[in-house]
Structure formats: C-alpha cells, structure tokens
Chain A
Amino acid sequence: MKGTLFQNFDHLMACARAGEVTKELDRARFRFNTAVVADQCVALSSRMLKSAGSSGIRHGSALLKQHHDILASQAHIANIADPFAINLGGMLFGQASIDPSV
C-alpha cells in the first residue's frame, strides 16, 4: 500500500512538473488505491487483534485503541472505496468516468 501510494504521487508530481495533466484512467486508479487503504487497514488490524488474544480486547489495549482509530477513519467519504472501484472498473471496460472529482 505504502509503496503504491508514494509511486502514484511520484507520477502525479512528474506530470505537474512537466505541465501535463495526469491521464484520467491513472487518476481513477490512484483514487481507488487511496480510498481502499482504510478497508485494507481495518482487515489487517482485525487480524492482529485476533492474534493478540485477550490482551487485544482489554480496556487500555494500545492495539484496540489504534484499531478504533483505523475503524473511525473508514467513515470518511474519501475512504469509502466502492464508488471508486465501480468507476475504475467501468473505465477499464471502456466506459467514461462517472466521477467528476477524479
């Protein structure tokens, strides 16, 4: 995830420096890559919590605190990946973007 996000921005900055607009399909892919982070982090954090056993569910658990924070972040509209997945999928099949913010 981390490598992908940084590579995406390397590309965006390279386009900006060259005075070019990044291709719409790339922008749609970058939006999806960004939005899906919260879903993936919630899933990975859940696995760690389970593996930590009862220490992960006690009040004061640092792992649980971080899990709650990660969980909360997925409530932000920019971190809800489904619309970006649908848009990217459609574009990969040749449809026009349906996301004006991409």
Chain B
Amino acid sequence: MTATATTATATTTSATKVQQDKPAGENHFGLDSPRAQVLLEAARNMGPVLEARQEACNSDRRIPDDTIADFHAAGFFKMLQSSEYGGYEMDPQVFYAVLLEIAKTCMSSAWALGVIGVHNWQMNLFDDPAAQEVWGKDSTVLISSSYAPVGQVTPVEGGFMLKGRWSFSSGCEHCDWVFLGAVVPTAEEPWNMLNYRTFLLPKKDYKIVDNWDVVGLRGTGSHDIVVNDVFVPEHRTHNMLADDGGRKFMHKPPLYRLPFMQVFSRAVSTPTLGALEGALEKYVSVAKTRLAGAIMMHDDQMQNGSPLKSMRRLPA
C-alpha cells in the first residue's frame, strides 16, 4: 500500500505532535502514553459541549455535524487507523477509554464513534487496494456498517453481485462508504457462516432509508441501507471468519493481528458501560439529597469504599 494519504488539517492536533520523539522500550500506543493522555483529556473536555448538544442529537436522530467535526479535530477517528493513512495505531484500550468518557455524557455519540471508529481498524484487514480507494484522496473519509448476513450474493467474474436491505447502520449519514454483511453461496453450501464476508460499497451504490424511530440511542441515526444489484470487486470484501486471529496480517503492527470480533464487540459494549458510569454519577447526586422513607439515601461511610471509588482508579 502506498502512503498517499492527505492528512486533514482538522486532525493536526496536539495529539499528533506528542508522539514524535519516542523513547525506546516504552509502549507509545498504550493507555499510559503521552498521546493517549491527550486523547483522554480531549474526551473529558468535550463533556459540557456534548451535554449542550444532547437535545438536538436526540430530536434530530443524528449526531450533530459539529460533534463529528470535534471528533475529527481531536483525532478520535485516527486512533485505530493505520499510520499509512495518518492514523495513530493506538492500542484498542485507548479507543475504549475514550468511548467510556464520551458515553458518560452522550451514549449516542460514543456509540457512533465506537462503530465508525472501529471500521478504520477493520479497513486494514481488507486487501490493500480497498483502503486506497477509500482513503487515497482523503484519509478522513468515514465508513458505516451493518454486518447482519442478510445480503443476497451472486459470485461473478472478478467479484460479486450484491443486493439486500440491512438495518441499524449507525452514523450512516456521516459516512461515504459502508460495510455490509452477506454469506457467499457455493455449489456445495448455499449458506454457511464460514463463507461470511463484509462487503465494502461506496455511497453511490446504496441508499439510506430514514427509519430510525426508537426510544434509546436515537442520536445514532442508525437507518436502513438498501442495495439493488451492484458489483463488488473481490478486493472490496473481507472474509473475517477465515482470518483466524489475523495470521495473514503478521507483517502489520500487532493491533491488526487481533481477532475481528474481539475488537468489534467491545466497540458496542463499551459505550453501554460508559453510560452506566454517567448514570451512576447522576444517581449519586440525586441520592445526596433524597430521603428513602425517613432515612437519607446517601451513606458516606459506604461510599468511601464503594465500587464508584474503585471505578475511578481505572482508566478514563
């Protein structure tokens, strides 16, 4: 892959600068690294802004454009992206710690960041020309997804014809490409999950159906995606189950040798945990003044040794 990425001016932040002089023998990509600290500080500082945007995020069923711009400026979408395209190649723990912090205030924003951000990791598992197509001209281009294996596939010369309708594509309105799931039929096995692939399509090849009308995670704008018989070349597909722990990526940084589902599944569970932490903080403030019958709900002695205190010792 040729490093022809154009680094967006918006992503030239202090997080870009802190990593330049790297003392030997340290993990420059982990939670204790200078860059991770900058990213986490940026996430913490966004709390009040995200709080102020909550109502619009919820009522518009969409992450505000300003929030996406802020995530770009802070370098959040670059956390798991390859350095060939200006990415930081951070350990996923850093990515998850940022999600935890964002989710305390706005779980929809954290969810969209988690899902879209992890796609910048998966992009490195495709054949190299695929990443070049997506990021060759602009490395800030974003990808949404819907992985359910509901697509209909017909193998053809050089690739596949794909059609179908997928649900729950979080943040799709902010993205120019999409990952879609489907099983490739063979003569012996019309449907075997071992033949599951992720198909990468540009925006011109799909339509977004605005139907995200839900009670929670409204701001994620997770609308349906519809595809009507389009050609997807072989290199724009990824057989994630055949990767078997990423053996074919041994020449890449360790980050890209991790099993796909281990990385992806944390992107959609971590925001939940962050939202719970946020709820706990709100609950504690309620409990300080609340009576349960004749008894005050707060118990300072209990709280001094409580899970809340021990949680604060952990990352984020």
Are A and B co-members of a single complex? yes
Collect the chain B residues with CB atoms within 8 Å of residue A69's CB.
Answer: 107-108, 111, 216-217, 275
Within 8 A of A (CB), among B248-269: 250, 254-255, 257-262, 264-266, 268-269
Closest Cβ of chain B to A6, distance in Å, is 6
Collect the chain B residues with CB atoms within 8 Å of residue A73's CB.
Answer: 107, 111, 216-217, 268-269, 271-272, 275
Within 8 A of B (CB), among A8-45: 9-10, 12-13, 16-17, 19, 21-22, 27, 30-31, 34-35, 37-38, 41, 44-45
Given that A37-B272, A68-B215, A102-B261 are contacting pairs, would A9 and B279 also be in contact in the complex, using a CB cutoff of 8 Å? no
A55 touches B286 (CB 8 A): yes
Collect the chain A residues with CB atoms within 8 Å of residue B168's CB.
Answer: 76
Collect the chain B residues with CB atoms within 8 Å of residue A62's CB.
Answer: 279, 282
Given that A6-B93, A30-B262, A66-B275 are contacting pairs, would A21 and B107 also be in contact in the complex, using a CB cutoff of 8 Å? no
Within 8 A of B (CB), among A55-100: 55, 62-63, 65-74, 76-79, 100
Collect the chain B residues with CB atoms within 8 Å of residue A30's CB.
Answer: 262
Interface SS of A by simple majority: helix
B315 at the interface (CB under 8 A from A): yes
**Among B1-9, B129-137, B151-159, B239-247, the stretch in contact with A:** B239-247
How many chain A residues touch the partner (CB < 8 A)?
A: 48
Question: What 7 A-B pairs come out closest when comparing CB atoms?
Answer: A72-B216, A68-B216, A16-B254, A21-B245, A69-B107, A72-B217, A37-B269
Known: A10-B93, A69-B216, A101-B261. 14 other contacts (CB 8 A): A5-B266, A5-B270, A6-B315, A13-B254, A31-B262, A34-B265, A37-B269, A41-B275, A65-B58, A71-B216, A72-B217, A73-B111, A101-B241, A102-B261
15 A-B residue pairs with Cβ-Cβ distance under 8 Å, sorted by A, are A1-B273, A5-B266, A6-B96, A6-B314, A9-B96, A9-B266, A12-B258, A13-B92, A19-B257, A37-B273, A41-B272, A63-B286, A69-B107, A71-B215, A100-B241
Residues in A lying within 8 Å of B, measured CB to CB: 1-3, 5-6, 9-10, 12-13, 16-17, 19, 21-22, 27, 30-31, 34-35, 37-38, 41, 44-45, 48, 51-53, 55, 62-63, 65-74, 76-79, 100-102
